[in-house]
Amino acid sequence: MVTSVVQRKIIHLDCDCFFAAIEVRDNPRLTGKPVAVGGAPEKRGVIATCNYEARQYGVRSAIASAYAKKLCPELIIINPRMSYYREISCSIQTIFHEYTDLVEPLSLDEAFLDVSNSTYCKGSATLIAEEIRQRVYDTQHITISAGVAPNKFLAKIASDWRKPNGLFVIAPNQVAEFVLKLPVNKIYGVGKVTAAKLKAMGIATCGDLQQFSLDTLINKFGIFGERLYELAQGIDHRQVQSIRRRKSLSVEHTYPDDLGDWSAIQIHIPTLLADLEVRLAPKLGEGYAISKRLVKIKFHDFTQTTLAEACQPQSIQEVLTVDDYKRLFSSAFQRGKKPVRLLGVGVGLMDLYERNPVEQLELFPGGTSDKQ
């Protein structure tokens, strides 16, 4: 007996300039003006997101608000209203769940949907995506871009293909041709270092990458080589996970004045650890164990470094020790020996609910960031 395999239908939905779009929607006088959501320039704030009018000046998320104002003197920076954004996100997610139970939120403004078995819109993923986009606009008056593809990797790329307010579909029979010309820097996980290695090998597109064997790529890039090999062919077996479990938890703080030396840094470590303990305590009752200590330093010139060390599962008090974190921070500080603008402390988490937990490290994730 031959069992037929259902062709997966994955949608990636991404609200356009989510935080900024909400602020412009609520204040029509901002329409057509460069708008950003973020911290105040005089308090060393950082841009969370901005609209497309601001991006024309080079403003983007994660840059200093003061620098953003230099790029665009007319930029209007609005303090974030996170609780309000979460309410709107919840309303949008409710719409998503009407079409499938398989919804994987990535942040407040984006999510994957697996509609492979959905009977809505005659089972058409494209029609479902179109209907969701229209409903979000009708109810929230903000636009949302969508990508439809046979897997998560391609769906996410597709949602960015016609931003803003666009829909792009990669059908199963189009995958092979589509990935041939896809730049390798579109592959998730390919940063500057990996991109430089690929360029040195003469690899600019996924088509170029397909010319190399699996063994060669593993030899060059380790475990990530296997991922490169599959994604270059448009293969991605990851499932849409309706319940996402944490891999790390952290707190960080940007200081009004640079911390000039090691003695100035040490003073702030106990406060950071106290804040982390408040956040961490409830999580350990949700099936997690601490597996790593993490620290992060961002220097005054915006270069940054992170450092981690494994630790045996212990009580919070045994893990969050000032002496251990001082030792990690001291080693991290030695990498730059420059004035410091931001400090972060965190822990890596092991999911005890997994049958065979394999922990992956995500240092200081931006869980509420507004991705573009």
- Furthest CA-CA distance within the chain: 72
109 labelled as ligand-binding?
Answer: yes
Q: Which two tokens stand for residue 191?
A: 């940063």
CB 59, CB 72: distance < 8 Å: yes
Active-site annotation holder among 110, 226, 354, 362: 110
Would you call 167 helix, strand, or coil by DSSP?
Answer: strand
CA gap 126, 118 in Å, rounded: 12
**Dihedral sign from CA coordinates of 111, 45, 274, 358:** positive
Euclidean distance between CA atoms 231 and 180, whole angstroms: 11
Half-sphere exposure for 337 (CA within 13 Å, toward CB)? 2
The answer to whether residue 53 is catalytic is no
Q: Is 14 annotated as a binding residue?
A: yes
Element (H, E) at 238: none
Comparing CA positions, the residue from 15, 17, 82 lying closest to residue 49 is 17
Residues 6+ apart with CB under 8 A from 209: 184, 198, 203, 217, 228, 229, 232
Instruction: Give residue 127's Cα distance to chain centre.
Output: 27
**Binding region for Mg(2+):** 14, 109
**Binding region:** 14, 109
* Catalytic residue list: 110
